[in-house]
Amino acid sequence: MELYTIHAGSFKLDGGAMFGVVPKSMWNKLNTADDNNMCSWAMRCLLIKDGKRLILIDNGMGDKQDPKFFGHYYLHGDDTLDKSLAKHGFKRDDITDVFLTHLHFDHCGGSIQWNSDRTGYELAFKNATYWSHTAHWDWATNPNAREKASFLKENILPIKESGHLKMVEGNGFSQLPFSVFICKGHTESMMLPVISYRDYTIIYCADLFPSRWHIGMPYVMAYDVRPLDSMKDKEALFSQFPTEKTILYFEHDPSAECGSLVKTDRGSIALDKTFPLTEL
C-alpha cells in the first residue's frame, strides 16, 4: 500500500464557527484570523494505491460554482487537485474509487464537474466507483434547515444518476482496504477511514478533528449538528485505538498533515507532535 497527500486548495471560514464555544482570545493564538474574522484552512485529501486500486478520499469543493459562491470562501493558494495528482504521476481517469466521508460541499464538490459545453454535469472521475453511507445519503438528500446550504444537489444527485454510486451499510465495510469509524456529531453518519499502514493506524479525520487544535474535547465546531455527540465520538475513537500507534491525518489543518498522540498525566489525550505523511 502507498499513501499520497493530495491538496485540493485552501479556503477561509469564520474562526468562531470553526472553534465553537472556545473564545477568540484562545483560538486566535492558534490560527490567527484576518480583519473579517476568517481563518485559512486546507482541503487535504488522501490517495491510497493498493494493488490495482487507486482510491481518493474526499476531493475538495471543485470549481463549478459561481463567483458569488467562491467569494464567500476566499479560495487561495496554488494547490489544485489535478496538480497534486500529477505531482505523484496520476490523473483523474486513473482513480478507481472515490470515498466520500460526508457530502458537505468542501468534501465532495470535486466529485462532479461541468460537461464540455457547460449544459449539464458529469463525473469528474469517470472510471471511479463513488462510495457514500446509506444513512448519510438519505440525510443529505433530504437536508435539514441547518445544513441545507452545505448539501448542494449538483454535488450529490449526479453521482447516483451516473450509476457509479455504491453504499456503505452501517459500520460494516470490507470492499476497500480500510475500515470505517462512524461519527454522529458533525452530521449523520460521517465516515472516517481507518487505515492500517506499516506499524500504524492512520485515521482520516474529516471533520471530527479538522485540525490539530480540535483534539481537545471542548474544541467542537459550531457547524456540528450534535456537538455533544461530537465529544462522544472523540471519546469513542480514543478508547478504541491505542494512543501510541494511532496517527491522525488532518483534512483541514492549514499546515499539519499528521499528528501523533500522547496520554497526559491526567489521562486525557493530547497532541504529541505533527509531521508530514512522508515521514511514516
Average pLDDT over residues 52-63: 97
| Strand ranges in 31-144 using DSSP code E only, listed in sequence order | 38-50, 53-57, 97-99, 112-114, 121-123, 129-133
Using a pLDDT cut of 70, give the percent of the chain over it: 98
Q: For residue 85, is pLDDT > 80?
A: yes
Please, which residues have CB within 8 angstroms of residue 197's CB and are 6 or more apart in sequence? Answer: 1, 3, 280
Question: SS3 for 108?
Answer: helix
CATH code of the domain in which 169 resides:
3.60.15.10
Average pLDDT over residues 103-130: 96
pLDDT score, position 279: 95
Average pLDDT over residues 114-142: 95
Using a pLDDT cut of 90, give the percent of the chain over it: 93
Start-to-end CA distance of the chain, whole Å, equals 13
| Predicted confidence (pLDDT) per residue in 130-160, tens digit | 999 999 999 999 999 999 999 999 999 999 9
Question: SS3 for 275?
Answer: strand
Question: SS3 for 279?
Answer: helix
Q: Mean pLDDT for the chain?
A: 95
Q: Which domain holds residue 270?
A: 2-279
CB 22 within 8 Å of CB 9 = no
The total number of structural domains in the chain stands at 1
Q: Which three cell numbers stand for residue 81?
A: 487537485
